[in-house]
Structure 1
Amino acid sequence: MLHRPAQPHNCDVASLTFAGPIGYAAFVLPRDADAAPALQGLLDRIDAGTIELLDLEILALGAHGAAERQPTSVLQHGDSFDLSEFDGAQSDLLDAEDLAALGAELSDSELAIVIIYEDRGLAGFATQVQAQGGRELWTGGVDISELDTLVTESEQEN
């Protein structure tokens, strides 16, 4: 279930900053939906240090069926939310294959909000381990389908 590196991170944590797993999420909103509450929730997680935003992409279905990047200004947000909070957040990390796949899921009346982020939820824990002379050994993700299989098998055994 754990996708371990061929060689463990045999490194001195004291000389490195903790790097959490990198994840992504794509959400779809109707074009006329108020995106401000969702964007504020994203900012709250950034401000709390839970995540580090690596890329924010706003996408709409293009003429050829692939998703096309849009400026954040296409999002409905009311007067109380300042979209400039996300200036410079678009890093264009999505490639042509990603844009085509996302476009296949969008309709003309929808916008996609795609975030690529670093999960910083364990940074405090990692700092405490480091303070005690410990080190990070592995980080990574778990494939949800593998987790589901293991949970199902475990439930059947018990």
Structure 2
Amino acid sequence: MGPIDYLVVEFPGSRMTGEGLPLLVDLVERGIIRILDLAFVRKEIDGTVTALEIADLNGDGVLDLTVFEGASSGLVSQDDLQEAAVILSPGDSAGILVYENVWAAPFAAALRRGGGRLVAGGRIPVQDILQTLDELDAAA
């Protein structure tokens, strides 16, 4: 199995355009990632948290994400959804995505067979990279 990552993406005002969905589908179809869990929550104006059905996120009657319907491994619990919603402002929604990096599984297996051990890992936030690049540009 490849490394498992998660994303929580906030949609201010619960406005979801779906622009990224074709790219997500492409990653799955090409075997780069495998979606383990995909869930959506909305924080109501009164602060209550509502889980949204994947099939019709914007409530317009059109099925938006049927290709991901049933993507639930059980790794994301109700507590996880509540925790994700804590960071939301009232009226906002969030998508929670847990995925396996399928591309990395053969590489990781080869490293283990060769005696390698993973001793550190991490992710540098994009905002930090952009800020550093801006600072380097300004200094040049």
Instruction: Give the deviation of 1:135 after TM superposition.
Output: 4.5
Q: Could you tell me which runs of 5 or more consecutive residues in structure 1 were left unpaired when the two chains were aligned.
A: 1-18, 149-158
* Alignment partner of 1:142 out of 118, 122, 128: 122
Identity of aligned residues (%): 28
Moved more, 75-84 or 63-72: 75-84
Q: 8 Å contact 2:3–2:105 — kept in the other structure?
A: no
- 1:55 corresponds in structure 2 to 37
1:45 lines up with 2:27 in the alignment: yes
**Paired residues of 2:56 and 2:64 also in contact (CA < 8 A):** no
Contact between 2:37 and 2:71, CA under 8 Å: does it hold in 1? yes
Match of 2:75 among 93, 100, 105: 93
Unmatched 5+ residue regions in structure 2?
Answer: 129-140
Kindly report which structure 2 residues correspond to 1:1-158, keeping only aligned pairs within 5 A, or say none: 19-29=1-11, 30-35=13-18, 37-61=19-43, 65=47, 67-76=49-58, 83-125=65-107, 129=110, 134-135=113-114, 137-139=116-118, 141-142=121-122, 144=124
Given that residues 31 and 110 in structure 1 are in contact (C-alpha distance below 8 angstroms), is that contact kept between their aligned partners in structure 2? yes
TM-score normalized by structure 1?
Answer: 0.59
- Residue aligned with 1:57, SS: strand
Q: Which has the larger radius of gyration?
A: 1
Q: How many residues align?
A: 123
TM-score where L is the length of structure 2? 0.65
CA distance in 1, matches of 2:22, 2:99: 16
